[in-house]
Amino acid sequence: MTHTFMIGASTAAHQVEGNNIHSDFWVMENLKHSDFAEPSGMAVDHYNRYEEDITLLAQAGCNAYRFSIEWARIEPKEGKFCQKAMEHYRRVLLFCHEKGITPIVTLHHFSTPAWIISKGGWCKEYVVGAFARYAGKIARELGDLIPYICTINEAN
């Protein structure tokens, strides 16, 4: 479903989903001397309450929702994909369509799987292949439900 004029809301998975234990942000915010004011914990539990949240979005007159698919949930360990997480995001996408909301997916909204950071992070060349593997997996398994996709939030 696409609209000529889209108005909606946006979220970042790590900020709203909660319990994102495999991301670098989760690791950093739980360090003893973290720069984060507080850990995200369960956040607003959007991971479990997405139907309620998307319904509210539709009731507010919105027709688009830009959200991120959390790479750390999809690939919590290098090369090991979590089918349960993939199925979760499929349900989110299907629910968007059911409610008349055009999903706009961001593949990377600043948080990264912790295993990438432990290998040296985004400055290392292997990240190109790792991100391509993740993006390809999303395209193959969920692409039929994603009319718009952004590789990275605020690429500037």
| Per-residue pLDDT tens over the stretch 79-101 | 999 999 999 999 999 999 999 99
Distance CA 20, CA 73 (A): 7
Q: Match 């915010």 to its residue by tokens.
A: 29
Distance CA 152, CA 137 (A): 16
pLDDT of residue 39: 83
| Per-residue pLDDT tens over the stretch 2-56 | 568 999 999 999 999 999 999 988 888 888 888 888 888 889 999 999 999 999 9
In terms of phi and psi (left: phi > 0; alpha: psi -120 to 50; beta: otherwise), the region of 100 is left
pLDDT of residue 57: 97
Helix, strand, coil percent content, the chain, rounded in steps of 5: 45, 15, 40
Q: Match 């950093």 to its residue by tokens.
A: 28
Q: Match 């001397």 to its residue by tokens.
A: 33
The 10 Å CB-count burial string (b at 16+, else e) for 110-145 is bbbbbbbeeeeeeeeeeeeebbeebbebbeebbeee
Q: Match 């479990």 to its residue by tokens.
A: 48
